[in-house]
Amino acid sequence: MLLLEEEKRKLAETLWEKGIRDERVLKAIYDIPREKFISTALRRFAYDDNALPIECAQTISQPFTVAFMTQILDVQPGDKILEIGTGSGYQAAILSNLGAEVFSVERIEKLHENAKSLLAELGYKVSLKLDDGTLGWVENSPYDKIIVTAGAPDIPHHLVVQLNENGKLIIPVGDQESQRLLMITASRNGFEKKFYDHFKFVPLIGEDGWKA
């Protein structure tokens, strides 16, 4: 038990050293049991700052990536947030822990079902949908924030139009080897774009993404 707390504390310190200064984000990373979102065989790596494999050849993102995207999205209690790429459910748990109302779409049924039972077991109220997330989740739109956790060849039009009037969309855009994080902020005068560093995500596959 003490060991686990020590590992969590070390991870939070590593993230702080890498530039994560939002205390709420660091606390969410500390509070959420990442070991539950991965297989038992990998549990000893749960608090390393690395992406790890999950089922169906997908990944749970690196804690730094999760923390960085969450920090730049400036998640506030009550924000209505759409996540594309539920995966293990870990990023959705972080957003929910920060007080956001979370909607998350996953295209792989097994991952959707696993995340549904785990998030319910941990007590997170997240709305999940099995679908092609490149089309968004129009019934609940508009969203304050949209976070895409898979790498896209371009910006899916359906997502941009589901933002509210000051909404923000964060999405990795590039080829399948490497992507740059792109933040799109809506305003009365149109959309503002800001690029961040390079990251590597699994591909966003769908009608408005890479083809399967």
Q: Tell me how far, at minimum, the Cβ of 91 lies from ligand SAM, in Å.
A: 4
Q: How far is the CB of 85 from ligand SAM (least distance, A)?
A: 3
Tell me how far, at minimum, the Cβ of 62 lies from ligand SAM, in Å.
Answer: 9
Residues that bind ligand SAM (CB under 6 A): 58-61, 84-85, 87-88, 90-91, 105-108, 111, 132-134, 149-150, 201-202, 204-206, 209
Q: Which is nearer to ligand SAM, 190 or 197 (CB)?
A: 197
- Burial class for 142, CB neighbours closer than 10 Å (0-12, 13-18, 19+): middle
Our CB check for ligand SAM shows the closer of 111 and 163 to be: 111
Question: What span, in angstroms and rounded, lies between the C-alpha atoms of 179 and 172?
Answer: 5
User: 3-state SS of the chain: helix, strand, coil percent to 5?
Assistant: 35, 30, 35
Catalytic residue list? 61
Nearer to ligand SAM, 89 or 167 (CB): 89
Beta strands 80-84 and 143-148, pairing class: parallel
Using alpha carbons, list the distances in angstroms from residue 82 to 9, 135, 172: 29, 12, 15
